[in-house]
Chain A
Amino acid sequence: AQSVTQLDSQVPVFEEAPVELRCNYSSSVSVYLFWYVQYPNQGLQLLLKYLSGSTLVKGINGFEAEFNKSQTSFHLRKPSVHISDTAEYFCAVSGGYQKVTFGIGTKLQVIP
C-alpha cells in the first residue's frame, strides 16, 4: 500500500518570497514521486518528477523538489514566487503498475 500526506492545506505567501510545500509518503516498494499543479478550472499538469538518480529535481516555472529517502519526503520549493503561481499543488506517489496515489492538495495563495 502507498499513501501521501500533504501537511498544509493552504499556504499564503507574499510575492517574491520563498515557499516550501511539504509532502511525505509511505510505500512498501521503490517509488516514483511527482508534483502536479492545478490552475483554477483546469486539469492537473506535471510540475516535476523523481524516478531515480539525483535527489534534487528541477521542474517547470522555477520549482524544484528534493527526494529524501530516510525522511520519506519530497518537498517542493521555489526561491521567489509570482502571482501566477497561485494554484493548487498535488504531491503523488507511484509504487508500481501505473497506479498513482495523490495527496489532498495544498493551495498556494500568493499575496501581492
Chain B
Amino acid sequence: DVKVTQSSRYLVKRTGEKVFLECVQDMDHENMFWYRQDPGLGLRLIYFSYDVKMKEKGDIPEGYSVSREKKERFSLILESASTNQTSMYLCASSFSGSSHEQFFGPGTRLTVL
C-alpha cells in the first residue's frame, strides 16, 4: 500500500522558533510537494521538488524553505515561526509520468503561539 507519512500530526510552537516538518514517501516518487490548507482558501502550494536537491517555489514560499537530500524525504522549514503560519500542512508525492496523481500524507496541524 502506498504511503506518505508526516513526522507529527499536531505541533505547537512559539513565535520565533525554527520549525521542521518532515515528510517521507515509500513509493519511489520523483516529485514531492508541500501545501498549506486554510479554511476558505483551499490548498496552496508552498514549494515542490522534482528531484533530489532540486526545489521550486510554489505560490506562497515566503517565510518557508525546503530541503530534499534524499529521494524519499522532503522537509519544510519555518526559519522563524509566526502566528500567521498557524495552519494545516500537507505533504504529497507523485511520479513524473503522465498521471499527475498526487498521494497525500495525513497532515500536520501546526499552531504557533
Contact = CB atoms under 8 A, between A and B. Distances in A.
A102 B43 contact: yes
B98 interface: yes
A90 B100 contact: no
Nearest to A105: B42
The main secondary structure of chain A at its interface with chain B is strand
A38 to B, nearest CB: 8
B27 interface: no
Contacts of A51: 98-99
B100 A32 contact: yes
B99 A49 contact: yes
A39 B18 CA distance: 30
Contact of B94 (A41, A44, A98): A98
A100 B100 contact: yes
A76 to B, nearest CB: 15
A42 interface: yes
B104 A44 contact: yes
A42 B106 contact: yes
Contacts of A42: 106-107
11 contacts: A43-B90, A43-B107, A44-B43, A44-B90, A44-B92, A46-B102, A98-B31, A98-B96, A99-B45, A103-B42, A105-B42
